[in-house]
A and B are shown apart, each in its own frame.
Chain A
Amino acid sequence: MSEKASTKSGGYEKPLPEFRPETKPYWDACKKHEFSLPRCKKCGKVFFYPRALCPVCMSQDLELIKASGKAKVWTFAIHHMGPTPAYKGEPPYVVAIVETQEGVKMMTNIVGCKPEDVRIGMAVEVVFDDVTPEVTLPKFKPIGK
């Protein structure tokens, strides 16, 4: 059974990640404000998202490595309408795909600057948002901000 992080605490109503055996260590690291990425011990591939089998060689011999937390903005959208009532008052917000120094891409939010200042290729670094007592989400902000 997967353990769903509480949506009640702190009134946070947006979707939250599910903790499962293969994803829990990644989220535990985020909670400690450490950005990590899964790596295959057999073929060496660093990948995202955390899972039980390597996406390249299907090995189950995986580890979490400490990642740089540095990335570049690959593309982004500035949301002027939120998808659900849980996003009330939030727009405009930025949904972006960033490419980390380790070469993996992930969907995230850019924070810490005006949405209109975000650019393709902008250097960003990880920041942590403790959205509930159990869940911390990695987001990215411009380096130096």
Chain B
Amino acid sequence: MKRVSVIGIGNTRYGVIKDRSFLDLAVEAGKKAMADAGITTDEVEAFYLGNYAGSDFINQNHLAPYVGAALRLRRDIPCTHIENACASGGSAVREGILAIGSGTAGKVLVIGIEKMNTVPTPKVTEFLAKAGDWEHEVKVGYTFPSAFAMMARRHMHQYGTTREHLAAVTVKNHTNALKNPDAQMQKLVSMEQILNDNRVVADPLRLYDCSLITDGASAVILADKGTARNLSRKPVDIIGFAQANDSFALYQKDDLTRFDATVEAANMAFQMAGVKREDVDVAEVHDCFTIAEIIAIEDLGFVPKGEGGPATLDGLTSLNGKFAVNPSGGLKAKGHPVGATGVGQIVEIVEQLRGEAGDRQVKDAEIGLTHNLGGSGATCVVHILARC
């Protein structure tokens, strides 16, 4: 299979965005990525759209040609929508890689998008819960906060993880987001403030443990390595990628302190990339809740099982730590426009590897990783990228 590179990136601002429709957000991100790659619309030979619930949030289906037409893409190319819950963006990038690898397309546009602030919060919760098992989980009052609360409780029970450990994720990610002009959350928060905050969502998780309800879009342009070398001033190679799955419902899992899909995807991606865990300088991981970041850095093999909390509290994953995790602010503070997240993670890692991440630049970053989780872990997509 041909080696694939990222030659263009583009983000909209992430946040509560009133002055942009779904299409405006998608077009803005797509056009920015094409401009960054230095290509015209007519050069795009395949388009993949990562989106979770446009059918709920904006009452629109058949979303890929909907966006493709707005972008005035060529008529002779495929426009395809990928839905894998919160991993929709990561899966869409993976499809783009496969299209180039198979030789059916030379340059591919991938856009991830979600416009969520179109309905009140209870409706958002209801739409997100559809990524769980409706018939056997949702009917007992289950939501995503309760899923991750149940995992947090097992993690606390088995490994002694504490609320301070969870809070350390929030403190770090809010600190990073303040250095990211595209991030939704632009506010520092102290450990003391978090521990004294009593807004419980689903105990043991509180408001500060949860990611945000976000509008936003992210886009990348992919090309085969040869084309990338001719076109791009700073191409970044995708040296490993993998997607895996797990039991669908939470109650069907054997261990709630681990996501098998992450473990499998990480092992396959590292094997393909031919690099070691300690070679990774920077990672964007799926912190939809604070506990999810702790579990992610354990499952990815960066720290031993059960040590994700202490490692975070000790600063190992801070911007200047041993390996930086979520320099963008992560889902927690950059924001979590569900279908955009997996693409946005790639955008951040490319900026980091190009050395263009401004105040949040991880020094001398050469190898980066993205980790995008869907639902309560039934899908996981991992990408490993390297500076050329």
A interface residues (Cβ-Cβ under 8 A, vs B):
14-18, 49, 74-85, 87, 90, 92-93, 95-97, 105-109, 115, 120, 137
Contact = CB atoms under 8 A, between A and B. Distances in A.
**Contact-residue size bin, chain B (C-beta under 8 Å from the other chain):** 20 to 34
A74 B151 CA distance: 10
Contacts of B129: 83
A79 to B, nearest CB: 5
5 contacts: A75-B153, A84-B122, A93-B141, A95-B142, A97-B256
B363 to A, nearest CB: 40
Interface in B128-155: 129, 134-143, 145-147, 149-151, 153-154
A14 B122 contact: no
A16 B135 CA distance: 8
Given A75-B154, A80-B200, A109 B141 contact: yes
Interface stretch (B212-220, B230-238, B244-252, B339-347): B244-252
Contact of A77 (B125, B157, B202, B252): B202
A80 B139 contact: no
Contact of A95 (B122, B135, B146): B146
Given A80-B200, A83-B122, A83-B125, A16 B153 contact: no
Given A77-B146, A80-B202, A14 B141 contact: yes
B201 interface: yes
B383 to A, nearest CB: 31
Contacts of A96: 150
Given A107-B250, A120-B154, 7 more contacts: A14-B139, A15-B139, A78-B200, A83-B129, A95-B150, A97-B250, A106-B251
Interface of B: 122, 125-126, 129, 134-143, 145-147, 149-151, 153-154, 157, 200-205, 249-252, 256
B283 to A, nearest CB: 27
B203 A83 contact: no
Nearest to B206: A80
B117 to A, nearest CB: 18
Contacts of A93: 141
A127 to B, nearest CB: 14
A28 B251 CA distance: 23
A80 B251 contact: no
Given A75-B256, A84-B125, A109 B140 contact: yes
Given A81-B201, A97-B250, A76 B142 contact: no
Given A15-B138, A106-B136, A109-B141, A80 B150 contact: no
Nearest to A87: B141
B39 to A, nearest CB: 44
A53 B146 CA distance: 29
A77 B251 contact: no
Nearest to A47: B252
